[in-house]
């Protein structure tokens, strides 16, 4: 079953907004056993949308259209679909009831402009919208299916799950897919690729590929089988192989984050952490408290941007600052020790560096240079990282926070393994080079 996703909106064609709907829909369609062969993006123009409909209907059995179902004059998907199908637009009583019910639920008057959302191409079924005012619609004919969904992501996703998935459910006995996404950090993309190269062969089932975003690498495993159970077994087999080879660099699966992985380890081990930050300005503390229940493991955070704050709050000596500068191994060490002592925490993370775009002194202290300290009962470790002058200030801060979290994650894993009497295997992790 081939599928095409058509995204409607001049805000997309002009680059004002990013089309996240197409990516989400493609992933869901793939899981449902469809083969997505094309994404099409068109402006809010009747003829452009109509042409996209006609072409997609020729090449694919399923066409998913998102956007252009609102109440304003530039919402013309309804008319374009009617033109493509060769039928008139009609006010649909069921659609009108849905629009009116939405406003009644919120005890708000319905603007007369919203009545246009009840116009549906003749012969199409109405798809209810549980999250907004725009009903969708569906057409079936000649072995082809067309689904028109709202462009608002929350509305689109709810309608797709409730109305589209059941309609395109793959018949029993046809191939189905199962997907796993393993998330990695602290390993370069080249090293990861070399480690699992045989699993990424083009003619294999499952298909395995890698992507990189914000220094997090994703290993995507898509398995096809005669039924969901077989596809699941194949995907699980490769996921185990990736974990065995990549080791501690795998921190979770789709939907997880480094800070959520660290939070679970801290809570499960009954450990606490505090932070002392300079160049990250409190971002590390924010990440550690993004999870509900973070008071169980996060004690406090110090943002000591100025040297005076490092001295007064964390006890960093003026002699160390004068001799080595704020961005140095010695100051990162003193910050983490002072933070742990002040907070009385099990662990303390310190971050000091040059986030740019100004302040660098190449070659000794360029923009992107960051020192991260980790203090615990057994001692203090400080690592030096060069994140690169090509990154923005926000990107350097983000990489610094992720790297600090990863250092704490690995320390917690080692502690857990030591308690169990086993040895933590770490092949072949490049945690000194967190950029993919």
Taking phi over 0 as left and psi of -120 to 50 as alpha, with beta for the rest, 106 belongs to alpha
- Angstrom CA distances, 319 to 20, 22, 116, 273, 342, stand at 52, 57, 73, 27, 20
Structure confidence by residue, pLDDT tens digits, 228-264? 899 999 999 999 999 999 999 999 998 899 999 999 9
Dist. CA 24–CA 28, nearest whole Å: 6
What is the DSSP secondary structure assignment for residue 344, as one 8-state letter? T
Task: Check whether 176 has a pLDDT greater than 80.
Answer: no
Evaluate if residue 423 carries a pLDDT over 80. Answer: no
Domain boundaries of the chain, sorted by first residue: 2-167, 176-253, 258-420
Is the per-residue pLDDT at 435 higher than 70? no
- pLDDT score, position 177: 80
Q: What is the pLDDT of residues 62-109, one digit of tens each?
A: 999 999 999 999 999 999 999 999 999 999 999 999 999 999 988 889
Predicted pLDDT of residue 254: 86
pLDDT for the residue numbered 428:
43
Evaluate if residue 17 carries a pLDDT over 60.
yes
For the ranges 16-30, 159-173, 350-364, which has the lowest average pLDDT?
159-173
Whole-number Å distance between alpha carbons of 310 and 195: 42
Neighbours of 311 (CB within 10 A): 17
Q: What pLDDT score does 227 carry?
A: 83
Q: How far apart are CA 301 and CA 18, in angstroms?
A: 35
Least confident of 232-241, 301-310, 423-432: 423-432
Neighbour tally for 371: CB within 10 Å? 25
Quick one: pLDDT at residue 172? Answer: 36
- What spatial distance separates the first Cα and last Cα of the chain, rounded to whole Å? 35
The predicted structure's pLDDT at residue 33: 79
Judged against a pLDDT cut of 90, whether residue 346 lies above it is answered with: yes
Q: Is 187 helix (H, G, I), strand (E, B) or coil?
A: coil
Distance CA(248)–CA(422), nearest Å, equals: 14
- Are 377 and 346 spatial neighbours (Cβ–Cβ below 8 Å)? yes
Give 251-255 contacts, CB < 8 A, sequence gap 24+. 251/183, 251/184, 251/185, 251/406, 251/409, 252/182, 252/183, 253/180, 253/181, 253/182, 253/183, 254/180, 254/181, 254/183, 254/218
Alpha-carbon distances, residue 48 vs 28, 44, 171, 235, 245 (angstroms): 26, 8, 34, 40, 49
pLDDT digit string, tens, across residues 141-162: 999 999 999 999 999 999 999 9
- Which residues neighbour 171 within 8 Å (Cβ) at sequence distance 6 or greater? none
Percent of the chain exceeding pLDDT 70 equals 95
Residue at token pair 């033109």:
83
The architecture of the domain spanning 2-167 is 3-Layer(aba) Sandwich (3.40)
Q: Grade residue 432 by pLDDT with cuts at 50, 70 and 90.
A: very low
Domain 176-253, CATH among 3.50.50.60, 3.90.209.20, 3.40.720.10, 3.30.70.2860: 3.30.70.2860
Task: With a cut of 80, say whether residue 278 has pLDDT above it.
Answer: yes
The per-residue pLDDT for 1 is: 86
Looking at per-residue confidence, does 243 or 225 come out higher? 243
Amino acid 175: pLDDT: 65
Of 77-86, 114-123, 162-171, 374-383, the one with minimum mean pLDDT is 162-171
Task: Return d(Cα 422, Cα 412) in angstroms, integer.
Answer: 14
CATH number for 258-420: choose from 3.90.950.20, 3.30.565.10, 2.60.40.420, 3.40.1500.10. 3.90.950.20
Lowest mean per-residue pLDDT among 149-153, 169-173, 282-286, 396-400: 169-173
Q: Is the confidence at residue 294, as pLDDT, over 90?
A: yes
Distance set, CA 420 to CA 259, 340, 389, 423 (Å): 24, 26, 42, 9
Is 267 a residue whose pLDDT tops 60? Answer: yes
CB-CB contact of 283 with 353 (8 Å): no
């Amino acid at each position: 079953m081939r599928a095409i996703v058509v995204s409607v909106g001049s805000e997309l064609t002009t680059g004002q907004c990013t089309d996240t709907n197409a990516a989400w829909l493609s992933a869901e369609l793939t899981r449902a056993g469809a083969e997505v062969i094309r994404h099409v993006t068109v402006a809010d123009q009747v003829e452009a949308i109509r042409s996209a409909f006609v072409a997609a209907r020729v090449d694919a059995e399923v066409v998913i259209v998102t956007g252009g179902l609102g109440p304003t004059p530039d919402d013309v998907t309804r008319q374009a679909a009617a033109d493509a199908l060769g039928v008139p637009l009609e006010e649909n009583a069921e659609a009108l009831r849905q629009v009116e019910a939405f406003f009644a639920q919120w005890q708000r008057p319905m603007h007369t402009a919203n009545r246009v959302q009840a116009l549906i191409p003749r012969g199409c079924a109405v798809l209810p919208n549980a999250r907004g005012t725009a009903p969708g619609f569906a057409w079936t004919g000649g072995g082809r299916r067309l689904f028109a969904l709202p462009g608002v992501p929350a509305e689109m996703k709810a309608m797709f799950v409730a109305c589209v998935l059941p309609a395109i459910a793959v018949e029993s006995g046809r191939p189905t897919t199962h997907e796993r996404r393993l998330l990695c950090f602290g390993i370069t993309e080249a090293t990861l690729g070399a480690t699992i190269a045989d699993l990424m062969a083009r003619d294999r089932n499952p298909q395995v590929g890698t992507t990189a975003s914000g220094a997090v690498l994703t290993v995507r495993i898509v398995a096809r089988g005669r039924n969901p159970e077989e596809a699941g077994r194949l995907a699980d087999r490769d996921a185990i192989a990736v974990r065995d080879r990549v080791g501690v660099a795998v921190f979770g699966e789709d939907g997880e984050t480094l800070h959520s992985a660290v939070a679970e380890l801290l809570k499960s081990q009954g450990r606490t952490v505090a932070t002392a930050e300079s160049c990250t300005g409190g971002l590390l503390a924010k990440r550690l408290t993004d999870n509900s229940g973070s008071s169980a493991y996060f004690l406090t955070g110090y943002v000591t941007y100025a040297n005076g704050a490092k001295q007064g709050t964390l006890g960093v000596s003026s002699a160390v600052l004068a001799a080595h500068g704020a961005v140095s191994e010695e100051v990162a060490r003193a910050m983490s020790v002072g933070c742990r002592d002040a907070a009385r925490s099990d662990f303390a993370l310190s971050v000091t560096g040059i986030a740019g775009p100004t302040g660098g002194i190449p070659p000794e202290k360029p923009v992107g240079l960051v020192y991260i300290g980790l203090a615990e009962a057994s001692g203090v470790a400080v690592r030096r990282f060069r994140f690169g002058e090509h990154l923005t200030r926000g990107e350097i801060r983000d990489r610094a926070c992720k790297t600090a979290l990863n250092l704490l994650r690995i320390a917690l894993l080692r502690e857990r393994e030591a308690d169990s009497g086993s040895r933590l295997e770490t092949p072949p992790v490049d945690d000194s080079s967190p950029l993919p």
